[in-house]
Chains A and B, each alone.
Chain A
Amino acid sequence: MTRGVGGGEISFEPLGDSAVLLRFSGNSPEIRWQKAIAACEALNSAGIAEVQEAVPAYETAAVFLRPPAEEMEERLRSALKNFRRRRKNSRRVEIPVCYDDEFALDRARVEEATNLSIAEIIDRLTKTVFTVACLGFMPGFPYLRCLRPELGVARLSTPRTKVPAGSVAIAGGQAGIYPFESPGGWNVLGRTPLCLFDPQRELPALLAPGDRVRFRAITRADFEKAR
């Protein structure tokens, strides 16, 4: 079943004087998110001169306008008249993750908070099919949805000043992967040898919103080989 965009499905509000925020209706976060992704794909390929870029988040999309910014609601609605909620086949990406003790910086904290052993935690992570909701925080940092509820852990009360690059972490019902060494407040459980963001690559970010992601556990030896 596909749905088009009716009059009430998108609301427009200003995001300052040079951008517009689109808010999507829908009966579930998943539906609203799919509309946000689809709307951005439509607007980014519509060739509207005034649009610099459309940026999705969970349930909203920001449309950045080239100066001077004018009232764009009509033009944007028109461009979105025929877009359908996202039905494209998603890319499937497998991320190798090493859960070696040296990399699982917050193992004890997560074990205690979830009342699960690290083996049980890894098992659940490995069985999860995540969805990339959006990228943000740092270039290429994916916000991965669909973390199992039993793995819900709060952020660190004091963020680390340095989370190693490639760290795989969880917080607030989501998982994420730090592309660079950076400050961070999520619970680090492992590390991937993959490079999540390289500005010199043709596709600089490894992951894109909508991708389905699975973690594959690898040994420390395989991690070192893959680097």
Chain B
Amino acid sequence: MIAILRAGLQSSVQDCGRFGYRRLGVTTAGALDVASMRLAQLLVGNDEGAAGIELGGGRFVFQAKSERLFAWSGGEYRVTIGGEDIPSLHTAKISPGETVELQAVQPSRTWFALSGEIDVPEVMGSRSTDVRAGFGGANGRFLRDGDELPLGAETPFGQSLRRNLASRRSSWSAPRFPVRKERLRVVAGKDWNDERGAELQRAPFQVALNSDRMGLRLEGTAMATSAVEQISEPVAPGTIQVPRDGLPIVLLADAQTIGGYPRLAHVVTVDLADAAQLQPRDQVRFVCVSLEEARGWLAQRERDIALFRTGLQTRFGFS
């Protein structure tokens, strides 16, 4: 069990997402940077799809009641266990009663995992929090000071990692996927044309204050847009819609499942991790790429994660 002393900003229990229910209008939810969550989970011996915590910013402080493995990834944070600095993408060890602190150095999001995973009940096949609809995760809401979360049993692989930990943190580490949030790569959407595409890529937009896990609302030069709303079609995380006011919205994991606004483009899946780090007032520009390139990067990302997983498991006797 962990006791949360300080819950930071917009922190929530998330796994890779809730799949198979978009046709019921249920959003995928899940960690906004799925790769970071998966790597953190592997580093503590859990399945990639296990549940951890997404932290939206600020300061998060907790104590574990038993000895646990810990790993974090993403964002610019200072993370300490018992006052000792812990770098991201490494396996680390927490002793019972020790205080773990994650402090945002720059406004950013981060993801962390504990061995045994956050063992809240699964709802519709996932432990992700659906904040909009108010279910899943820890009672369907953001975490609060004073919350306590159950942890499951450490896996045999987690135990093997622990045995091989010579000190507070591991000599091994997971690959770092650099985040370049000043630009988001996109593929053309149904309502793309040369003129609109040029408009989208011409100048940077600014992230508006009312951006959140549902989407990045952007400010800047309004784009020309048709006044007619179209028949609603399914959308995806990453879809860029242009509503009547001409200011694009980048849909994220908590967005609605269908929409009637023109869809100009889609952020490539590997760049959703970059979108996850965009903060209000950040500038972002869009760059159009081909579908082949986008799929290529996604395939490479999957290979990199798989390679890390098999490498770690082989090294510590689990292949």
Q: Do chains A and B interact in one complex?
A: yes
Q: Which residues of A contact B (CB under 8 A)?
A: 13-19, 21, 29, 40, 44, 52-62, 64, 67-70, 134-141, 143, 180, 182, 197, 199-200, 204-205, 208-209
* A69, B123: Cα distance in complex, Å: 26
Given the interface contacts A18-B236, A139-B133, A199-B124, does A54 sit within 8 Å of B23 by beta carbon?
yes
* A62, B123: Cα distance in complex, Å: 24
* A40, B130: Cα distance in complex, Å: 24
- Check: B269 CB closer than 8 A to any chain A CB: yes
Q: Which of B19, B23, B187, B190 contacts A17 (CB 8 A)?
A: B187
* A226, B190: Cα distance in complex, Å: 46
Q: Which of B134, B135, B234 contacts A21 (CB 8 A)?
A: B234
Contact B298–A56 (Cβ < 8 Å): no
Q: CB-nearest residue of chain A relative to B232?
A: A57
Closest approach, in angstroms, between the C-beta of A71 and any C-beta of chain B? 8
B residues 265-307 touching A (CB-CB < 8 Å): 266-269, 291, 294-295, 298-299, 301-302
Taking CB atoms, residues of chain A closer than 8 Å to B135 are 199
Taking CB atoms, residues of chain A closer than 8 Å to B26 are 139, 204
Given the interface contacts A15-B266, A68-B295, does A141 sit within 8 Å of B233 by beta carbon?
no
Q: CB-nearest residue of chain B relative to A22?
A: B234
- Check: B20 CB closer than 8 A to any chain A CB: yes
Q: Which of B20, B190, B238, B295 contacts A52 (CB 8 A)?
A: B20
20 more contacts with CB within 8 A, not counting A29-B231, A139-B27, A197-B24, are A14-B266, A15-B235, A15-B236, A17-B187, A52-B20, A53-B22, A55-B234, A57-B231, A62-B22, A64-B236, A136-B232, A136-B258, A139-B26, A140-B24, A141-B25, A180-B134, A199-B130, A199-B133, A204-B124, A209-B23
Q: Which of B20, B27, B231 contacts A58 (CB 8 A)?
A: B231
* A53, B257: Cα distance in complex, Å: 12
Given the interface contacts A53-B19, A60-B234, A135-B23, does A180 sit within 8 Å of B133 by beta carbon?
yes
Taking CB atoms, residues of chain A closer than 8 Å to B258 are 55, 57, 134, 136-137
Most buried by A among B19, B25, B235, B302: B25
Q: CB-nearest residue of chain B relative to A56?
A: B23
Q: CB-nearest residue of chain A relative to B133?
A: A139
Taking CB atoms, residues of chain B closer than 8 Å to A40 are 23
Taking CB atoms, residues of chain B closer than 8 Å to A59 are 231, 233
Taking CB atoms, residues of chain B closer than 8 Å to A140 are 24-25
Given the interface contacts A68-B295, A137-B256, A199-B124, does A16 sit within 8 Å of B133 by beta carbon?
no
Given the interface contacts A53-B20, A68-B295, does A17 sit within 8 Å of B25 by beta carbon?
no
Contact A67–B123 (Cβ < 8 Å): no
Given the interface contacts A13-B190, A17-B294, does A199 sit within 8 Å of B236 by beta carbon?
no
In this complex, the interface size class of chain B, counting residues with CB under 8 Å from chain A, is 35 or more
Closest approach, in angstroms, between the C-beta of A128 and any C-beta of chain B? 21
Contact A17–B266 (Cβ < 8 Å): yes
Closest approach, in angstroms, between the C-beta of B241 and any C-beta of chain A? 12
Most buried by A among B133, B190, B234, B299: B234
Q: CB-nearest residue of chain A relative to B294?
A: A17
Query: What are 27 A-B residue pairs whose CB atoms fall within 8 Å in the complex?
Result: A14-B266, A16-B189, A16-B236, A16-B266, A16-B267, A18-B298, A19-B236, A21-B234, A29-B231, A55-B258, A56-B234, A59-B233, A62-B236, A68-B295, A69-B295, A70-B299, A135-B23, A135-B24, A136-B25, A137-B257, A139-B21, A140-B25, A143-B232, A180-B133, A199-B133, A204-B26, A204-B124
Taking CB atoms, residues of chain B closer than 8 Å to A136 are 25, 232, 256-258
* A29, B232: Cα distance in complex, Å: 13
Closest approach, in angstroms, between the C-beta of A115 and any C-beta of chain B? 25
Q: CB-nearest residue of chain A relative to B238?
A: A16
Closest approach, in angstroms, between the C-beta of B228 and any C-beta of chain A? 12
Contact A138–B132 (Cβ < 8 Å): yes
Given the interface contacts A15-B234, A136-B258, does A200 sit within 8 Å of B25 by beta carbon?
no
- Check: B136 CB closer than 8 A to any chain A CB: yes
* A55, B231: Cα distance in complex, Å: 15
Closest approach, in angstroms, between the C-beta of B67 and any C-beta of chain A? 34
Most buried by B among A16, A137, A208: A16
Contact A197–B233 (Cβ < 8 Å): no
Taking CB atoms, residues of chain B closer than 8 Å to A182 are 132
* A57, B298: Cα distance in complex, Å: 27
Interface bits B253-267 vs A (CB < 8 Å: 1, else 0): 000111000000011
Interface bits B13-45 vs A (CB < 8 Å: 1, else 0): 000000111111111000000000000000000
Taking CB atoms, residues of chain A closer than 8 Å to B268 are 16-17
- Check: B239 CB closer than 8 A to any chain A CB: yes
Contact A69–B298 (Cβ < 8 Å): yes
* A16, B190: Cα distance in complex, Å: 10
Most buried by A among B233, B256, B299: B233
Closest approach, in angstroms, between the C-beta of A88 and any C-beta of chain B? 16
Taking CB atoms, residues of chain A closer than 8 Å to B302 are 67-68
* A17, B239: Cα distance in complex, Å: 10
